[in-house]
Amino acid sequence: MEQLNLIYLIMAVLLFASVLASRLSARLGMPLLLAFLGVGMLAGEEGIGGIVFNNFVGASLVSQLALAIILLDGGLRTQYATFRIALKPAAILASWGVLASVGLLGIFTTLFLGIDWKLGLLMAAIVGSTDAAAVFSLLRNSGVRLNPRIQATLELESGVNDPMAILLVSILISLITQPENTTFASAFIMLLKQLGLGLVVGILGGKILAWLLARIRLAEGMYALMIASGGVALFALTNMTGGSGFLAVYLAGVLIGNARNASTEHVLTVMDGLAWLAQATMFLVLGLLVTPSHLLDKAWVALAIASFLILVARPVAVYTSIKWFKYRRAEIAYISWVGLRGAVPVTLAIMPMMMGVENARFLFDIAFAVVILSLLIQGTTIPYFAKKSGMTLPPQPEPLETRELWLADKLSVTMQAFRVEENSEAVNSHPYAMTRDARFSGCRLFVLVRNNQTIKVDFTTQMQVNDIAWYTLPEIHGSAFARQFADDSGSLNEQQFYGEFEVNPNVKLSDLAFMYGVQAAEEDREKSLADLFSERFGGIPVAGDRIYLDNFCLTVKVLNEQGKIQSVGLKMPKIAE
């Protein structure tokens, strides 16, 4: 009994230390995942903890379960609009992109290390795919507002590229251990099963779980447990039948998250905590599993492989995958840079260990070192390169807090809180004055809070700095409404980015030429701005998309729920220069 309690104590202390270390990691600008990994390594056999952990089967079990939970949570937060924006390029990145990256890196690894080509390709296949846990975590906690097309591409790619990586690793292991049973036909059938079963089980399972979620009445905390257990069941069932469990659980999460009802709100809240627990546990276990001295012995080899992957293989793979989809060079470069490696490569590196592949430990140590280098080099520079390459949009005023009150299965009221900031329009204004705009005609004041006390609102009430006003307001209008409460000095950044003028997207270029002197090609003069952006960006414009006409800069500013442009910013030539 004492030994069992000791295990509980060690696990709790490690997890507690990881959470505390995450605060330091955030202040230093390092990925949180490295904090969890670092605590595990410190507690391991060569760290201060001295814990000896060599159970690769157990580590694989923990890692795959954690990844299933993380992908499920990522799917729950992925809107259908993300698929509309970036499905085609992300699908090519997740297939051809992985193949190209593995092929190039495999050739380099084989020649650089002087090993058998099958082992070189296996090394490349292990680290060939981006990691959903790392991408979801770092992009959503980077502190910058990314261009929607770039964010959607990166998140979708990481969510659906695991089947190709798993397929390549499985084929190469089979080619090394059982070459007589490995043929092109068997590899092709395996790919079809991975993708086909992953799609079918994910979509059907997601629809069933979403249907159950809307019809079964449970205690609030039980909804998340039902979805988590259902998602893991789909993951295991798909794997057992030869499909991609990772793809299935991600798609199931997407279907559940987009079937919004009273129950899904409870699911999202609890699943966020489960996903963080899964990430912390997974990287703690992987940290315990690794031997730091082995990594140091292979540091230069890992650095060479990581450098070739980051600077050559990944950029070539990305360029050849998405150059056809209206991406600018800077966007291609940024997508190439954010090819983060994380838990998936380490989990794949465990497979050769379990299958008895020769030199499997060497592959594992190299893969682990590449992951650490990827998180250190790429993970810490995501915000910096996003700003330098112009991938960010100006910070957008947001509600302080959002709460949803469900009145029936499909009927809800959204309440949003807004803090009154200095130099804002709201200072010394009546709370009801904020609802004059026609867009906010259905908005109602719920309560006004000052110094942690509610204030009775009458005709003479004026809001003061740091007051918090709660309104019932559709969630989609939250950012626009928040502008009235934000410091006016922040509008300067928006003017610098979008321009001094806001133009109706239905204005024709001929009218724009008459008003501002914009020069346009004769065949474009009768086109509206909305048509021009749709034509230039494959029918799917997003906020931040730009078109230059005779030194004038037109930038998409706001889109509605249907993805249609609502306003366009116009930057005059002097400012554009």
The more confidently predicted of residues 39 and 31 is 39
pTM: 0.83
Cβ 575 vs Cβ 544: under 8 Å:
no
List CB contacts of 551: < 8 A, sequence separation 6 or more: 573, 576, 577
Task: Give the Cα separation of 254 and 389 in Å (integer).
Answer: 30
Token pair listed for 188: 């092709």
Least confident of 179-183, 269-273, 300-304, 322-326: 179-183
Tens digit of pLDDT for each residue in 498-521?
887 888 888 887 877 777 777 777
- pLDDT band, residue 287 (cuts 50/70/90): confident
Cβ 266 vs Cβ 219: under 8 Å:
no
- pLDDT band, residue 30 (cuts 50/70/90): low
**pLDDT score, position 208:** 92
Task: Give the Cα separation of 114 and 122 in Å (integer).
Answer: 14
Q: Which residue has the tokens 């799609």?
A: 199
**Is residue 209 pLDDT above 70, yes or no?**
yes
**Is residue 544 pLDDT above 90, yes or no?**
no
Cβ neighbours around 379 below 10 Å, total: 25
In 527-577, beta strands by DSSP E: 546-549, 552-559, 565-571
Average pLDDT over residues 424-431: 91
pLDDT above 90 covers a percentage of the chain that reads 19
**Is residue 27 pLDDT above 60, yes or no?**
no
pLDDT above 70 covers a percentage of the chain that reads 91
Domains 55-388 and 401-489 share a fold: no
List CB contacts of 141: < 8 A, sequence separation 6 or more: 32
CATH architecture for segment(s) 499-576: 2-Layer Sandwich (3.30)
Residue 32: which of 340, 305, 385 has the closest Cα?
Answer: 340
- pLDDT band, residue 577 (cuts 50/70/90): very low
Query: What would you report as the CA-atom Rg of the chain, rounded to the nearest whole angstrom?
Result: 26
List CB contacts of 275: < 8 A, sequence separation 6 or more: 69, 70, 72, 73, 74
Provide the b/e sequence for 17-53 (b: ≥16 CB within 10 Å): bbbebbeebeeeebbbbbbbbbbbbbbbbebebeeeb
For the chain, domain boundaries = 55-388, 401-489, 499-576
401-489 maps to CATH 3.40.50.10070: no
Inter-CA distances, 506 with 213, 439, 495, Å = 42, 19, 21
In 132-278, beta strands by DSSP E: none
**pLDDT score, position 275:** 81
55-388 maps to CATH 2.60.120.10: no
Average pLDDT over residues 473-495: 79
The more confidently predicted of residues 341 and 447 is 447
**pLDDT score, position 20:** 66
Cβ 548 vs Cβ 571: under 8 Å:
no
List CB contacts of 503: < 8 A, sequence separation 6 or more: 512, 529, 554, 567, 568, 569, 570
Inter-CA distances, 105 with 84, 96, 129, Å = 31, 14, 12
Tens digit of pLDDT for each residue in 111-165?
999 888 999 999 999 988 887 777 777 777 666 788 888 888 988 888 888 778 8
